[in-house]
Amino acid sequence: MNAPETLPASPEPHVMKTYGRLPLALSYGKGCWVWDTEGKKYLDGLGGIAVNTLGHAHPKLVPALQEQIGKLIHSSNYYLVPLQEQLAAKLCELSGLSSVFFCSTGLEANEAALKIARKFGHDKGIDRPEIVVYEKAFHGRSIATLSATGNPKVQAGFGPLVEGFVRVPLNDVAALDKVARERANVVAVFLEVIQGEGGINPAKVEYLQAVRRICDERGWLLMLDEVQCGIGRTGKWFAHQWAGIRPDVMPLAKGLGSGVPVGAVVCGPRAASVLGPGNHGTTFGGNPLAMRAGVETLRIIEEEGLLANAASVGEALRAGLARELEGVAGVVEIRGQGLMLGIELNRPCGELLGRAAQAGLMLSVTADSVIRLVPPLILSRDEARQIVAILCPLIKEFLAGPAP
Ligand SMILES: Cc1ncc(COP(=O)(O)O)c(C=O)c1O
């Protein structure tokens, strides 16, 4: 069928339409600000979807990456990569875990985690291992990770899905206990500490502690997807650290390389040696440029005290939003932690993406009705105040419009 003649010509006719895009192109950035090709300036409340940890053009990151590009971008995993050991050692120090597999994206990290769980089961003599996953979860868009994802929209059209997943609701210990009683082939529990794409839904501290206990009792692996909520975003290095627990397997990506693609699966002793030579690999994983980006990102987070900044500016942002939106009909809840915040409205609000961009603010809308803020961890109090000042009037105006 021909497209209706009234549709405007696409500015990107050769790019596959897997994203609905706003008609603007970003050209450059500095700190928490970005400029489009027309010269319009935006405050970055999105951070490239929780990726640009250090904002844009960070004065310490840029020269380090330039130096690395001039030395060696890629070598191959046939040889030792000293920067891999350097980044792995740092991630182990920060997490208390013991070894790391490197890849390039979140779905790849999760795919590796799922393979670890299955092989962990096979090594114990379980031929058809099962992994507990969650309603509203998001783990990526490969066939296995979309099967683990708890969103029918992400799965639609891609069946048959990968088998071997058992789904439960978040924060429901009784549901997990029931699985434990009824299913002998379970080998792992796999969840996000704060569900990102699912609408900024935090796992409760007590729930995480209960899941850790159940995993220990049953000999299951606890696998925490910290792709979105990890790397300082909540004010601790990893979001699960607020619950005082340690996972066995922790996939990371997004913020780890400040925009350079880096994925990692950090494993504790029970999972560290499940995969051996020939079991898994990826060409780009752990290349020197990616590793340098990871090493420098973690170093700069430490040097600049960005965990404390994420916690305190995040709290100020949340308080500002709460103050401005108090009593506004249609605001259901403000939730999240540090610089990972969601404002749930009582109706789908995707159009706020465009309205916010027009007003000079980058943000996203997830799970249809949740406005998501995941800005760079360098956000200042004043910039947090500006986010509140731009966003809250937009929300009020939107909610004053026709009800759903
Ligand atoms: C929690 C979580 N896991 C995995 C992914 C997939 O990461 P990627 O898009 O890098 O494949 C995402 C992406 O949004 C995510 O939020």
Q: Is the Cβ atom of 193 under 6 angstroms away from ligand 1? A: no
DSSP character at residue 254: G
Ligand 1 centroid – CA 332 distance (Å): 26
Q: 16-20, 167-171, 229-233, 274-278: which range is least confident on average?
A: 16-20
Identify whether the C-beta of residue 258 lies closer than 8 Å to the C-beta of residue 53. Answer: yes
Q: CA–CA separation, 163 vs 154, rounded Å?
A: 16
Q: Is the Cβ atom of 110 under 6 angstroms away from ligand 1? A: yes
Q: How confident is the model at residue 9 (pLDDT cuts 50, 70, 90)?
A: confident
> Which of 103, 142, 151, 197 is the pocket-test mutation for ligand 1 (most atoms within 8 Å of CB)?
197
Q: Is the Cβ atom of 140 under 6 angstroms away from ligand 1? A: yes
Average pLDDT, integer, range 171-187: 98
Q: Is the Cβ atom of 190 under 6 angstroms away from ligand 1? A: no
Tokens representing residue 269 in the block: 């002793």
Note the pLDDT of residue 402: 81
User: Which one of the listed residues 119, 165, 225, 236 is annotated catalytic?
Assistant: 225
> Cα-flanking dihedrals φ and ψ of residue 316, to 5°?
-65, -40
Note the pLDDT of residue 164: 98
Note the pLDDT of residue 5: 53
Q: CA–CA separation, 292 vs 266, rounded Å?
A: 17
Return the ligand 1 atom nearest residue 263 CA. 10
Tokens representing residue 120 in the block: 């962990």
Q: In what order do the strands lie in the sheet with 361-362?
A: 26-30, 33-36, 41-44, 361-362
Q: Is the Cβ atom of 196 under 6 angstroms away from ligand 1? A: yes
Ligand 1 centroid – CA 50 distance (Å): 10
Q: Is the Cβ atom of 227 under 6 angstroms away from ligand 1? A: yes
Ligand 1 centroid – CA 99 distance (Å): 21
Note the pLDDT of residue 1: 39
Q: Identify whether 254 is a catalytic site residue.
A: yes
Q: Identify whether 138 is a catalytic site residue.
A: yes
- Mean pLDDT of the chain, nearest integer: 96
Which residue's CA is minimally distant from atom 8 of ligand 1? Answer: 106
Helices (H), 51-188: 61-71, 82-95, 106-123, 143-148, 152-155, 173-182
Q: How confident is the model at residue 6 (pLDDT cuts 50, 70, 90)?
A: low
The residues pairing with 102 across neighbouring beta strands, listed in sequence order, are 264
Q: Identify whether 120 is a catalytic site residue.
A: no
Ligand 1 centroid – CA 198 distance (Å): 11
3-state secondary structure of 134: strand
Q: Is the Cβ atom of 232 under 6 angstroms away from ligand 1? A: no
- Confidence (pTM): 0.97
| Chain center to CA of 305 | 21
3-state secondary structure of 133: strand
Q: Is the Cβ atom of 201 under 6 angstroms away from ligand 1? A: no
Tokens representing residue 350 in the block: 């995707």
N-to-C CA span, the chain: 32
Ligand 1 centroid – CA 228 distance (Å): 7
Q: CA–CA separation, 342 vs 335, rounded Å?
A: 5
Q: How confident is the model at residue 2 (pLDDT cuts 50, 70, 90)?
A: very low
Ligand 1 centroid – CA 109 distance (Å): 9
Condensed to tens digits (0 to 9), the pLDDT of residues 324-382 reads 999 999 999 999 999 999 999 999 999 999 999 999 999 999 999 999 999 999 999 99
User: Which one of the listed residues 120, 138, 190, 284 is annotated catalytic?
Assistant: 138
Q: Is the Cβ atom of 197 under 6 angstroms away from ligand 1? A: yes
Return the ligand 1 atom nearest residue 192 CA. 1
Note the pLDDT of residue 184: 98
385 burial (CB, 10 Å; 0-12 / 13-18 / 19+) is: middle
Condensed to tens digits (0 to 9), the pLDDT of residues 223-267 reads 999 999 999 999 999 999 999 999 999 999 999 999 999 999 999
Q: Is the peptide bond before 160 cis (omega within 30 degrees of 0)?
A: yes
Q: CA–CA separation, 139 vs 173, rounded Å?
A: 21
Condensed to tens digits (0 to 9), the pLDDT of residues 291-315 reads 999 999 999 999 999 999 999 999 9
